[in-house]
Structure formats: structure tokens, C-alpha cells
Amino acid sequence: DQYARNNKSFGLTTLRRRHVDVTGSEVRFEFRGKSGVRHAASITDKRVARIVQRCQTIPGEELFQYLDEDGRRVTVDSGDINQYLQRASGGEELSAKDFRTWAGTMLAARALRDVKPAATLREGKSNVVKVIDRVAKLLGNTRAVCRKYYVHPVILEQYLAGQVIPPSPPSTTPRLSRRAHELRADEEAVLQLILSSA
């Protein structure tokens, strides 16, 4: 919260009520993140919309807050999110950053899979830079931050060595009926690529 005040930039847990608009089941977020990067995202989900609307009814600037058993206003912070993730994962050391890193890694792996194979190392490196730029834009980061913190280096090394994840087979399981703990085929392929290089 202090970071948000000092830098006039926001992240998930420091969003203000003014950064979100709920219309029906659509939730639209618009805010300035780190390095002054503007973020705009929307989610269409009735349950999320209801939760965000409930948060908006609680007095105060902060968006994500709740009333405790004594009726006191409590703001959700990154520690709360990480604690929840550890409980939900059965005690695994897991943080929100792990999800951002996995998302960046998956975006890069899929994009590199779809790029034509490089004829030379120079072309390969150029393709990697283009993909990192694309992923950085999607994540709202700079190229350097994206490459250093949000894309697993093995994915880039393997691409330069001529190995990418295979095309995803058509899913026979509807997305919503897939168990939450099951990985998609391309996620499994990325995990195997990383583990095989360890």
C-alpha cells in the first residue's frame, strides 16, 4: 500500500475502487502498474463480478477488502494471497509470482512453437527477442524484466537448440469440466522440457 502511494502505481492487491467497473457479469480493470505501464483487462464471470461488487460496498479506497468477524475492515495484501495459495496447494511454497512466471513461460513457449524454425543462430535470437517483446507487452513488463523474471530460461535455450513444445492436440475435455489440478497438454510439454534440462 505504501508502494502504491509513493509510486502512484498499482498491482492486484493495491487496486482502488476507481480502477474497476462492473457491468452485469463483466468486470473491467484499468490502472497504472509498475514503470507507469497502463493495464486494461476484463473478465466475464458472474461469481467474480458478485465478489468485486461486494468489495465495492465496503467503505474505503481499497478494492480488495473484507469485514472480519468483529465488523472491522481488513485490506487484502500480497501476504494474504500467498498464504492462501500455500494453504490451497497443501503447503507447497507457492506465491503469486509463480503464477506470473508460469503464465509468461507458457506464453513464450506457445509463441516460440508457432514461429518458423530459425535457419541461423542470429535469426533464432531475433525470434526470441520478438517473442519476449510480445510476452512483455501482454504481461505489462519491459523486455528485460520479462526475460529475467517471467520466462523460464530453458524455454529460450531449447528453442535456440531447435526444440519447441509440440502442437496441442484438440481438447476432448470441455475446459470447464477439466479438473483444476490437471495440466493441459502444452503445459505438460513445457514442464517436461524444463525437467528434462534440469
Confidence (pLDDT) at 81: 93
Torsion angle of alpha carbons 84, 26, 171, 104, nearest 10°? -60
Give per-residue pLDDT as tens, 129-142.
Answer: 999 999 999 888 88
Are the folds of 2-88 and 96-196 the same?
no
What's the pLDDT score for residue 169?
65
Q: Kindly list the domain boundaries of the chain, sorted by start residue.
A: 2-88, 96-196
Quote the CA–CA distance of 82 and 96 in Å, as a whole number.
6
Tell me the sheet residues that pair with 40.
30
CATH topology of domain 96-196: Topoisomerase I; Chain A, domain 4 (1.10.132)
Determine the pLDDT at residue 182.
Answer: 66
List the CATH code of the domain at 2-88.
3.90.15.10
d(CA 8, CA 6): 6
Q: What pLDDT score was predicted for residue 38?
A: 86
Q: CA 171 to CA 158: how far, in whole Å?
A: 25
Tens of pLDDT, residue by residue, the chain (198 residues): 666 566 678 888 899 999 999 999 999 999 998 778 888 899 999 999 999 999 999 999 999 999 999 999 999 999 999 999 999 989 888 898 999 999 999 999 999 999 988 999 999 999 999 999 999 998 888 899 999 999 999 999 999 999 888 877 666 555 544 455 567 888 999 999 999 887
